[in-house]
Structure 1
Amino acid sequence: MTEALSGKTILLTGASKGIGAATARILLDAGAHLIAHYGSDEAGARRAVDGYPEDRVTLLSANLGDRASTLALWDAALAWRGRIDVLVNNAAVMPFNGAFDGPDEDFEAAWDQSLEVNVRGPARLMRAAVNHFKEAGGGAIVSISSWAAQRGVTNPATIAYGASKAAVRSATQSIARAYARDNIQAYIIAPGVVRTRLSEEFAASQGGEEAVNATLASGEWVTPEEVGNIVAFVASGAARQLSGATLDVNGATYIR
């Protein structure tokens, strides 16, 4: 993947930790110019890109649950180099307080947060990206979804999260179909259990890591780096006809 992304400018959301931090380093190693978005964890974002040339990376903060902040993120990202070639929708939240039998206010808050940050924020960025790509002659969108979008969630308290990942998957697929002739590609990556803070919190709610591992065909969690490598591959343009596909990354636990 060395220099496979040379000359490309990529906007990556949620670059401060987990999949985002690993992906940021992989994209930079592949030669990309990177706009690394973060919500509130500036220190994490800086750690993720530490050691890379300052002229190839810039950090931008935005609240993806807020329309004005999200649109300002796009404008600032576009202004950095005058062009964006790839948008990677990675940032997401997973509220654990949305159970059907919980308090009404917790249920509503979980859905509001999931829909704003995981769906409307990415949708606003995808809209801006598509309009920019049409003028620029093409581009690509990569959305990090989840196997929960296809199979549902294990913990019913996170139903809003699973539903939000299904929504962003559908939106990305629709872009792939509608704009293929405009040289716009769109890909969905659907990981299973990835070694991230969110998954560790999920495991704790399911009886611990050993209990989760017992349900996995490989007995292993997906590494953030493996997801990042797939992002870099589709972002490179090496598989344009893969546009619209959902790439399952779960160690053969869930096969469709």
Structure 2
Amino acid sequence: MINFDFHGKTVLVTGASRGIGKAIAFAFASANARVAIHYHQQRDITEQFRDTLAGEGHIVVGADLANPIAIAEMVNKIIAEFGQIDILVNNAGIYQQHPLDQTSYQDWQEIWQQNLNINLLGAVNLTYCVAKYMMQQQSGRIINITSRGAFRGEPTATAYGASKAALNSFTQSLAQHLAQYKIFVTAVAPGFVETDMTRELLSSPAGDGIRQQSPLNRVAKPEEIAQTVLFLAAPGSEFLTGSIVDVNGASYLRS
């Protein structure tokens, strides 16, 4: 039986100052977990959000995920505060348009490097640091937020699509390697989600076409992604390790 009570569990959610990450942090706090809420630049907003959460003991942690040293320092700070990390949700990411036929060679290189540094290497390095503690605990959950674009393609944001596809592959490889330590690794691949970042696009003339990609004629709510993450983190879902769960309202189907 799936139990959504995370009392006694500690969770690190990256990119949790807004959007999907904020919904995930809120859901875990509401389910009795203690949450480390990661931000990059918006400390004040993140602290205000922390103060609205259910329960006690939540902390705000800042780090540039493109900086491996900052990542290690953040993990050490959380361990010093919580004593453990039971669940890691790698949610932070960036999305930049860079169509090849309209992008200079210099911009192309910079955008690719930024996307790989944050979307892929940031998650990879953070996972390394957290997994080292989880291995000592002989338990843990790692959940990576990827994207429908990893399968469907991102013609004008190729670096984003490639970074998320690589994160899917990393998820599956790590699930095999870490199973011996009772650490279970999964990915969630959303389609369009209604967040601050997408609201302007969804309100534009292109919005109707985006919503019509799904037979439900809408996009996902952040809370729907959060519910999937909680399911994957809960006791009883261990045999899903290595899975990539599509949450896209049947807007893209694969078999």
TM-score class, shorter-chain normalisation, is over 0.9
* Structure 1 residue 178: Cα displacement: 1.2
Whether the 8 Å CA contact 2:29–2:55 is kept in 1: the answer is no
Tell me the equivalent position of 2:100.
99
Pair 1:26–1:2, CA change in 2 (3 A): farther
Residues 1:255 and 2:253 aligned together: yes
Q: Which amino acid aligns with 1:188?
A: A
Q: Does the residue aligned with 2:157 lie in a helix, a strand or coil?
A: helix
Give distance in 1, aligned partners of 2:239 and 2:80. 30
Map 1:122-161 onto structure 2 (within 5 A): 122-153=123-154, 156-161=155-160
* Structure 1 residue 172: Cα displacement: 1.2
Pair 1:67–1:201, CA change in 2 (3 A): farther
TM-score of the two chains, using structure 2 as the length reference: 0.93
* Structure 1 residue 207: Cα displacement: 4.8
TM-score of the two chains, using structure 1 as the length reference: 0.92
Q: Stretches of 4+ moved more than 4 A in 1?
A: 201-204
Q: Which amino acid aligns with 1:36?
A: I
Q: Which amino acid aligns with 1:239?
A: S
Whether the 8 Å CA contact 1:91–1:118 is kept in 2: the answer is yes
Tell me the equivalent position of 2:21.
20
- Same amino acid, percent of matched pairs: 32
Give distance in 1, aligned partners of 2:31 and 2:225. 15
Tell me the equivalent position of 1:82.
83
Q: Which amino acid aligns with 2:128?
A: R
Q: Which amino acid aligns with 2:231?
A: F
String of CA shifts for 1:176-217, please: whole Å, max 9, x gaps: 11121210100100000101233346558x952112123222
Tell me the equivalent position of 1:37.
38
Q: Which amino acid aligns with 1:90?
A: N
Pair 1:227–1:130, CA change in 2 (3 A): same
* Structure 1 residue 100: Cα displacement: 4.3
Give distance in 2, aligned partners of 1:157 and 1:120. 21
Gaps of 5+ in 2: none
Pair 1:52–1:2, CA change in 2 (3 A): farther
String of CA shifts for 1:221-242, please: whole Å, max 9, x gaps: 1000010111112112220101
Q: Which amino acid aligns with 1:177?
A: Q
Tell me the equivalent position of 1:167.
166
Give distance in 1, aligned partners of 2:200 and 2:170. 27
| Aligned CA-pair RMSD | 1.9
